[in-house]
Amino acid sequence: MTQKIFDYDAKGILAKADITGKKKPGSEVYGRLFVLGPKAKKKDVIDQLKSEALAWHLKRAQKKAPIARFSTDKGPVWIIQPEFKADSEHAGLLEKSPYGLYRDLVGSHINQIKVHELEEVHMEFIDASDEEIIGSLAGIEIGSYKYRSVKQPKDYALKNPKFFIKGVSAAIKKEAIALGTGVNVARHLVNTPPDACNPTDYAKEIKKLFAGIDEIKVETWAGKRLEKENMNLLIAVGKGSDNGPCMVHIKYTPKGKKNKQPYAFVGKGITFDTGGLDIKPSAGMRNMKKDMGGSASLVGFAQWLHASDSKAACDIYLAIAENSIDERAFRPSDIITSRNGLTVEIHNTDAEGRLVLADVLDVAANKTGAQAPEFIVDLATLTGAMRVGLGIKVAGLFSNNDSIADALIKSGQRMSDGLWRMPLLMEMKSALKSNFANISNCAISPFGGAITAAIFLSKFIGDKPWIHIDMMAWTEISDGALSESGGNGQVVQALADFVTRKITK
């Protein structure tokens, strides 16, 4: 079925691609895209085109370079063969994988291909591995997305050519579509302006996205239900907005599930963050529609679960609110009792993300019996301190469990969706001491802000194995397959690899 969320059609450019390998060109001018594995000989491809291209074009194309582009009598040709560079300084954990190299190189050229306004592009893989093929196709899907092409298709969009792809199985195509659309759903949610993506509409659209899918159930807690559940931290953060807070639970239970206990994921969904009464400066508020990026990545991950027919049963919980300002807004020095009974003194209303996560983490951690999670992973655009420390391309990871932490970091490397482990220094918990409550919501000192935020969250996960990911969810520039600045779908691909390996090991 065609799925739409905030106008984004989750059946993108690859869904219409023909992979039979039998189609001959149906137009006079068409593009050809050759994607070569590391050991393939570029010269063999060039030799096939001698009768169609100028000699100097072919001579230049033979130079060692990851991209060769030239024209022929029949249309433009692209030959792509990435160059691998080892990273020995970080035990390979930040090294670009074959998947990532092909994704970014092929994806970065999809809009150049579309500029030619071709009716058809015939694509062929030569001596490429499954990983390289999936990366290339996911790159096409990711690279073809632009926000304005969705919102203003008549005015802005470059025409998508029909792809005819040789040497690709239906299973590979399916996985590439699942990864690409999962990333793009997350990107589109982050890019959607906050006047459209308020907590109420966001929750409704998530329900619409997964309506009619048997293995997915969506439940929303709002209003009286939040009060009944004593989710006072979530309520406090959202009560300054006309659009009240909520928790959305996406439950994915596939037929033939492979894990006895579900994997739990919790996402921060602050649809806009003014900072509250501790208001942000204007420059700091400019892109705060991205403060729901953790939840958006989990919606994209849920899209991947469904589209790939994953056998990993997952519970996804989204803590959704708008941190706004009016006479009802919560205040510095307020003391609020959390769902798990801890009293929290509000030191800063701009440290709101950890508050909404705390109550929802408690919901996930206290499931029992067959619903008790094997582990919990939370995703959040939580601290500026993490961006200062790691930049915007690599997310910080904190954990109380070495096994799952190592596995997720390795998945991030395989998918070029970088994660780096940070220390959960419990000796810093004294920075959250309060004279009036069990804990303060943030430290007075600016040092180690990402660490103290993680320590705060650790108070709400009980004894569960747990990972906290502090991420940006945004790119400032076009980067690889990401064709424009905006939401980047961070961690979606890493989570996809992570749960796949968990259920198949």
SS3 at position 203: helix
Determine the Cα–Cα distance for residues 168 and 33; give it in Å rounded to an integer: 14
Place of tokens 């899209």: 303
Determine the Cα–Cα distance for residues 149 and 7; give it in Å rounded to an integer: 10
Active-site residue, selected from the candidate residues 280, 311, 367, 429: 280
Alpha carbons within 13 A on the beta-carbon side of 496: 30
- Known active-site residue 225: no
Active-site residue, selected from the candidate residues 354, 387, 459, 502: 354
Which pair of structure tokens corresponds to residue 505? 């090991």
Which pair of structure tokens corresponds to residue 31? 């593009």
CB under 8 Å, gap of 24 or more: what pairs does 226-233 form?
229/339, 229/359, 229/363, 230/337, 230/338, 230/339, 231/339, 231/359, 231/360, 231/363, 232/336, 232/337, 232/338, 232/339, 232/359, 233/336, 233/338, 233/339, 233/344, 233/355, 233/356, 233/358, 233/359
Distances (CA, A) of 189 to 84, 324, 430, 494: 33, 20, 37, 19
> How remote is the C-alpha of 484 from its chain's centroid?
15
- Known active-site residue 354: yes
Counting Cβ atoms within 10 Å, is residue 452 exposed (0-12), middle (13-18) or buried (19+)? buried
As annotated, the active-site residues are: 280, 354
